């Protein structure tokens, strides 16, 4: 009967013999299975895995339970809608043999789980099976009864749409769900069971260095690379060596793309993989995305005087030929009005906004417990990096413990700390690091001291609540503010 009336149905894609495509890691083998699927049922022309599918559904995102939290997302142009369960499976074909008794099915319909699912979800998608339309025809009984109950006891206006318009309507209602939120497949048994057996979760980092920019994060990255138990991500050829996965278009390339930047650790228990992306710190989306994929990761941030950080960024942009930085003085940049040219305001934002330290830290603390966040003093890192590296090793619980007092040496010519090689030789960061430039002018210094005053006060209060020590530069800034 279904085949006879197939043109009257709207079809979601399915696979021949319940073949599970997510278990395949080889595209050619998967394509062979797709061709078998096509031979099996030509009526599934809407299934376009290699022919351009537009919409499908899942009950596994972000998790199977609780069902009310299921959400949709769009990935690689495919709209994925949240699918709900209705209590009908391939084996539920007789009314009197329904698990728990027929009254359980009726209770679900008449005010129970199935009723509440429709009531609380503006768009509901249910999957039934061919066997539900034979025997006692529980598929027809269930949904005819549900519609009658809804019409009797609610004022809901029920409508239906084909899959593609339905998906478009869903994302009109929930535009914030367009972007997927990647999670660790090994944290959910059901997700792990449907993941390719050839993949591993061991290639995800144990900690992140999140910035902000121009505070010394590259130096920490360099110093950590000297530790035998610590391994950094491979450099990205397109984003200035940093992966920048969580805060830009790279995120939509998925976790397979992300994990390809990390080696398989020789010992997942004792080896520490990490990445450094200094643009993560002040991003509005990174903390949530990071916590979804790496909920147990440690987070390291380095804070310097925000005025000095702003000036360093301005000089960095001048060195890289930014027209706004070349055409305007630093004071003109930081004091520009809202009517200033777009390029000038953009540079101003990158100078100032990362310095709202307490605002950004509180966003991170929304998703990570304070015990997983290390807030480092950038001034200590500059003058006594061995002490800073000792703090990092203790925070991460790294063994063996590396004595950086013996490992690092101050290079008088470079003007910063490097790896000591013996014989008076050193290995240092590249020419772009430790760049020398004129001191900040007094007018800009006073402007920024006033501009960041409240932000610095909020930072001191936050650190006090967290029981974290106050950086030396912050103590000095607050003293100057009180004297002023």
Whether 430 has a binding-site annotation, put simply, is: no
Whether 437 has a binding-site annotation, put simply, is: yes
* Predicted local distance difference test score (pLDDT) of residue 43: 31
φ and ψ at residue 303, rounded to 5 degrees: -115, 130
Burial class (CB in 10 A: 0-12, 13-18, 19+), 249: exposed
* Predicted local distance difference test score (pLDDT) of residue 412: 85
Q: What is the end-to-end Cα distance of the chain in Å, rounded?
A: 86
Do 229 and 350 share a domain, yes or no? yes
In a domain, 45, yes or no: no
Q: Which residue has the tokens 């987070």?
A: 299
In a domain, 268, yes or no: yes
> In what order do the strands lie in the sheet containing 298-303?
230-232, 272-276, 207-211, 298-303, 373-377
In a domain, 44, yes or no: no
* Predicted local distance difference test score (pLDDT) of residue 46: 43
* Predicted local distance difference test score (pLDDT) of residue 483: 64
In a domain, 74, yes or no: yes
Of 309, 307, 334, the residue nearest 477 (C-alpha): 307
Whether 436 has a binding-site annotation, put simply, is: yes
**What tokens were used for 198?**
């050839």
Domain that holds residue 142: 54-177
Do 236 and 328 share a domain, yes or no? yes
CA pair distance 205, 192, nearest whole angstrom: 18
Give how many domains the chain has, as a whole number: 2
Among 147, 177, 207, where does a domain finish?
Answer: 177
CA pair distance 161, 194, nearest whole angstrom: 30
Set 206, 214, 276, 298: catalytic member? 214
In a domain, 348, yes or no: yes
* Predicted local distance difference test score (pLDDT) of residue 198: 78
Whether 406 has a binding-site annotation, put simply, is: no
CATH number at residue 297: 3.40.50.300
Do 263 and 231 share a domain, yes or no? yes
**DSSP class of 441:** P
Give the rounded distance of the alpha carbon of 77 from its chain centre.
19
Burial string for 397-436 (b: 16+ CB within 10 Å, else e) reads ebeeebebeebbbebeeeebbbbbeeeeebebbeeeeeee
Do 173 and 206 share a domain, yes or no? no
**Helix %, strand %, coil % of the chain (to 5):** 45, 10, 45
* Predicted local distance difference test score (pLDDT) of residue 41: 42
Contact 132, 173 (CB under 8 A): no
Do 121 and 263 share a domain, yes or no? no
Do 147 and 213 share a domain, yes or no? no
Do 280 and 398 share a domain, yes or no? yes
**DSSP class of 234:** P
Whether 435 has a binding-site annotation, put simply, is: yes
Do 362 and 424 share a domain, yes or no? yes
Do 146 and 70 share a domain, yes or no? yes
Taking the chain (484 residues) in consecutive chunks of 10 residues, what is each chunk's mean pLDDT? 68 61 71 63 43 83 87 88 93 95 97 94 92 94 97 95 95 96 92 80 96 96 96 90 93 93 88 96 98 98 98 97 98 97 98 98 98 97 96 96 94 88 84 80 97 98 95 93 66
CA pair distance 275, 244, nearest whole angstrom: 9
Do 172 and 203 share a domain, yes or no? no
In a domain, 391, yes or no: yes
Number of residues that make up the chain? 484
In a domain, 291, yes or no: yes
Residues 347, 351, 356: CA angle, nearest 5 degrees: 135
Kindly report the pTM of this predicted structure: 0.85
Whether 16 has a binding-site annotation, put simply, is: no
Do 342 and 391 share a domain, yes or no? yes
| Beta carbons within 8 Å of 457's beta carbon, 6+ residues apart | 478, 481
Would you call 4 a catalytic residue per the annotation?
no
Do 166 and 229 share a domain, yes or no? no
Whether 417 has a binding-site annotation, put simply, is: yes
φ and ψ at residue 376, rounded to 5 degrees: -100, 150
Of 174, 173, 182, the residue nearest 61 (C-alpha): 182
| Beta carbons within 8 Å of 273's beta carbon, 6+ residues apart | 203, 204, 205, 206, 231, 232, 233, 262, 263, 265
Q: In angstroms, what CA-CA distances link 96 with 92, 102, 111?
A: 10, 6, 20
In a domain, 130, yes or no: yes
- Where does 122-227 have alpha helices with state H? 138-153, 163-173, 189-193, 217-224
């Amino acid at each position: 009967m279904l085949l006879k009336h197939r043109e009257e149905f709207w079809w979601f894609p399915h696979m021949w013999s319940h073949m599970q495509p997510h278990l395949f890691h080889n595209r050619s083998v998967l394509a062979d299975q797709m061709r078998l699927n096509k031979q099996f049922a030509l009526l599934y022309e809407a299934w376009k895995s290699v022919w351009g599918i537009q919409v499908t559904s899942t009950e596994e995102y972000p998790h199977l339970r609780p069902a009310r939290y299921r959400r949709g997302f769009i990935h690689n142009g495919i709209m994925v809608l949240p699918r709900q369960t209705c209590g009908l499976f391939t084996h539920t074909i007789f009314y009197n043999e329904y698990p728990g008794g027929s009254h359980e099915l009726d209770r679900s319909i008449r005010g129970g789980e199935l009723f509440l699912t429709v009531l609380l979800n503006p768009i509901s998608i249910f999957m039934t099976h061919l066997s539900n339309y034979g025997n006692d025809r529980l598929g027809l009984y269930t949904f005819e009864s549900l519609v009658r109950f809804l019409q009797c006891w609610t004022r809901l206006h029920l409508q239906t749409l084909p899959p593609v318009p339905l998906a478009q309507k869903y994302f009109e209602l929930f535009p914030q769900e367009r972007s997927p939120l990647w999670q660790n497949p090994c944290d959910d048994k059901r997700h792990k069971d449907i993941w390719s057996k050839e993949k591993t979760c061991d290639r995800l980092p144990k900690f992140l260095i999140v910035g902000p920019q121009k505070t010394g994060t590259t130096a920490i990255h360099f110093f950590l690379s000297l530790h035998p138990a610590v391994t950094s991500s491979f450099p990205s050829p397109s984003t200035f060596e940093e992966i920048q996965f969580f805060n830009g278009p790279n995120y939509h390339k998925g976790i397979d793309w992300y994990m390809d930047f990390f080696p398989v650790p020789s010992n997942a228990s004792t080896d520490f993989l990490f990445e450094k992306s200094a643009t993560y710190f002040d991003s509005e989306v990174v903390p949530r995305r990071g916590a979804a994929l790496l909920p147990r990761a440690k987070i390291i941030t380095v804070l310097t005087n925000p005025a000095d950080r702003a000036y360093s960024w301005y000089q960095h942009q001048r060195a890289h030929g930014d027209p706004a930085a070349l055409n305007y003085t630093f004071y003109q940049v930081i004091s520009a009005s809202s009517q200033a040219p777009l390029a000038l305001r953009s540079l101003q934002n990158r100078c100032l906004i990362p310095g709202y330290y307490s605002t950004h830290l509180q966003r991170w603390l929304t998703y990570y417990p304070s015990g997983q966040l290390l807030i480092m003093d950038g001034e200590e890192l500059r003058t006594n990096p061995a002490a800073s590296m000792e703090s990092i090793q203790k925070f991460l619980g790294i063994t063996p413990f590396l004595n950086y007092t013996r490992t690092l040496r101050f290079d008088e010519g470079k003007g910063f700390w490097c790896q000591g090689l013996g014989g008076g030789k050193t290995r240092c960061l590249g020419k772009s690091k430790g760049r020398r430039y004129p001191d900040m002018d007094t007018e800009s210094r006073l402007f920024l001291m006033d501009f960041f005053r409240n932000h610095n006060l909020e930072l001191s209060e936050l650190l006090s609540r967290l029981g974290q020590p106050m950086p030396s530069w912050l103590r000095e800034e607050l003293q100057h503010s009180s004297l002023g």
